[in-house]
Amino acid sequence: MGYIGELLKGSTDSLLLALIKEKPMYGYQLIKELERRSKGYFKFKEGTIYPALHRLEEDRLIVGTWEKLSNGQERRYYRLTRKGEEALSSRMNIWQEFAKAVNLVVEPPQDRKRV
């Protein structure tokens, strides 16, 4: 899979929730938006995003609705639920704690840098 792929485990859901919180979005759009915002760093695969969205919907953190464009195209727009908002803020907190713990290990206390 590669090292970045391993780092993503546990972060993908938070990234998706954070974007969907801003405004309703659909799968393909999320892939493009993640790439755009990260200045090309994230290049999520469809095999990652779509199953992730299905998991999040199954867990009731997001709800999807099919919407038909004038040209006939169909998109599934996802919105954040109340439960999703809570999950996002909880995950953000955990992420902060986690990053702090990593820094405590890799940067011994006497020469800690500001985070």
Partner DNA sequence: ATTTATACCTAGTGTTATAAGGTATTTTGT
Partner DNA sequence: ACAAAATACCTTATAACACTAGGTATAAAT
Q: By the criterion CB under 7 A, which residues form the site for DNA?
A: 1-2, 4-6, 8-13, 26-29, 32, 44-48, 50-55, 69, 71-76
- Give the C-alpha separation, 41 to 24, whole Å: 23
Of 27, 18, 19, the C-alpha closest to 52 is 27
106 sits near a second copy (criterion: CB under 8 A): yes
Q: How large is the C-alpha radius of gyration of the chain?
A: 17
Shortest Cβ 60–DNA spacing (Å): 15
Which of a second copy, DNA, none interacts with 76 (beta carbon under 5 to 8 A by kind)?
A: DNA
Which of DNA, a second copy, none interacts with 96 (beta carbon under 5 to 8 A by kind)?
A: none
Helix (H, G, I), strand (E, B) or coil at 75: strand
Of the pair 103, 112, the CB lying nearest DNA is at 103
Task: Name the pairing type of β-strands 62-68 and 74-80.
Answer: antiparallel
- 20 in Cβ contact with 78 (< 8 Å): yes
Applying CB under 8 A, the residues found at the interface with a second copy are: 3-11, 14-15, 18-19, 22, 34, 37-39, 41-42, 91-92, 94-95, 97-102, 104-106, 108, 115
